Amino acid sequence: MTPSVFNLLASLPAARDGEVTQLLLTGKGVRFERIVSLGQASPEGFWYDQEEAELVIVLAGRARLTIAGESQDRALGPGDAVFLPVRCRHRVAWTDPNHPTVWLALLIDPKLKPSASRAMDER
């Protein structure tokens, strides 16, 4: 098996008509995706409420994430990573309509006992 190389910021799919999710890597209980947004947000009243833990990273662009129970959205830009434990309800409040927002998402099944390390709290 030969190595694969891919530039995550190049050859972006057109996302004007809808967010585009591409699977990059998969394993039993593990999914690693690239998501490209261009102005999309979660529908009014919709919350992600996932069975998996998720680490989401903004590679490029700007977005706002709402986390249930928090009074203010989280404004995210390049390099920002958010660890969302299993069933941590959240929604995408806004993504930049003028420039693509490129996200990486690592989703891990609770059977694998995902947990963020303490480094993730040392902002």
Q: Could you list the residues that contact a second copy (CB under 8 A)? A: 1-11, 22-30, 32, 34, 53, 55, 57, 59-60, 67, 74, 78-85, 88, 90, 104, 106, 108, 111-117, 119-123
Residue 84 beta carbon to a second copy: minimum distance, rounded to whole angstroms: 5
Rank residues 5 and 16 by Cβ distance to a second copy and give the closer one: 5
Cα-based angle 102, 103, 106 (whole degrees, multiple of 5): 155
Residue 111: CB minimum distance to a second copy, A: 8
Sign of the torsion angle spanned by Cα atoms 105, 117, 60, 38:
positive
Please state the φ and ψ torsions of residue 120, each to the nearest 5 degrees.
Answer: -70, -15
CA dist 30 and 40 (Å) reads 25
CA distance 94 to 105: 17
- Please state the closest distance from residue 102 (CB atom) to a second copy, in A: 8
The neighbouring-strand residues paired with 114 are: none
State which residue, 38 or 56, has the beta carbon closest to a second copy.
Answer: 56
Closest distance of CB 71 from a second copy, Å = 14
